[in-house]
Structure 1
Amino acid sequence: MTADLGYPFSEAVRVGNILFLSGQVGILPDNTIIEGGVLAETRQIMENIKTVLGANGLGMEHIAKCTVMLDDMSQWGAVNEVYAEYFPGPKPARSAFGADGLALGAAVEIECIAHVPS
């Protein structure tokens, strides 16, 4: 597990050789959403994911599956633009869907499942 942010869920939970990451939004250390729109939010999310993985001894290459939630599906291309930068090699499986009312008023939320090598 990683940091306790005061929410009623864990940032990540390991079960066997799988690490489940909670949905990440573009949150800054002061618990506010980064300004700058969907591109800035997506980049912050991906950096947050890297941080959570790193705290668990993993990297982006260990991600097997991501789920992307967007408050506006017309932003799918913009999210993909930033998302792709973080997966230069083989891409993880992924689902994406529109969602109304994401946490903290976020435009994007991404959750991931990672493989923990033996």
Structure 2
Amino acid sequence: MKKSFALFVLIIAIQACQPKKPSTEIEYYQSEEMASLGLPFSDAVRVDNMLYLSGVIGMPPGKLELVEGGLQAEAKQIMENIQKVLKANGSSLDHAVKFTVFIDDIGRWSEFNEVYIEYFPGKKPARSAFGAEGLALGAAVEVECIAVIPD
């Protein structure tokens, strides 16, 4: 009896020391506003504690049109839309780690920055930018975001 109990304890100890295969949890988030537009993508995809947002243009929620006012108005709407998606998924701009900016005229980069810095007065996420032609709906700017979902 002692040998079988000792063997049982040894097996349990060995199993406890085995590395566990990590499980990757993937969730797809599409807001009601986005779903109502019938567009073929998610607002964001969550992989474990990371959140990957689709490119966002300056559309008011639920409308397939750009806000009026040009690049800076679009940039403000983009940042508001990003905040909304982050919040709906348990994150915030404080947990954003990377932005990718596509702008139709890289010469107008400073105009975008005037709006962007209003949302990041302190710590700034990593960021890349590209000049791009033919953004959706003729947008002046499109922005992607990657954020952490805190525990």
For the superposition of Structure 1 and Structure 2, which TM-score range results when normalised by the shorter chain?
over 0.9
CA positional deviation for 1:54: 1.1
Give the structure with the larger helix fraction.
2
Q: Distance in 1 between matches of 2:110 and 2:129?
A: 11
1:22 paired with 2:63, answer: no
Distance in 2 separating the partners of 1:2 and 1:63: 19
Amino acid in the other structure paired with 2:119: Y
| Structure-2-length-normalised TM-score | 0.76
The answer for the alignment partner of 1:9 in structure 2 is 41
Contact 1:22-1:112 at 8 Å conserved across structures: yes
Which residue in 1 is equivalent to 2:4? none
How much is the aligned-residue C-alpha RMSD, in angstroms? 0.9
Aligned length: 118
Counterpart residue identity of residue 43, structure 2: E
Cα distance in 1 for partners of 2:98, 2:38 equals 26
Compare CA radii of gyration and give the structure with the larger one: 2
The SS at the match of 2:41 is coil
Q: Percent identity?
A: 60
Question: Normalized per residue, which structure has more strand?
Answer: 1
Unaligned regions of 5+ residues in structure 1, if any? none
Runs of at least 4 residues of structure 1 off by over 4 A? none
Identify unmatched segments of 5+ residues in structure 2: 1-28
Alignment TM-score, normalising by the size of structure 1 = 0.96
Partners of 2:98 and 2:125 within 8 A in 1: yes
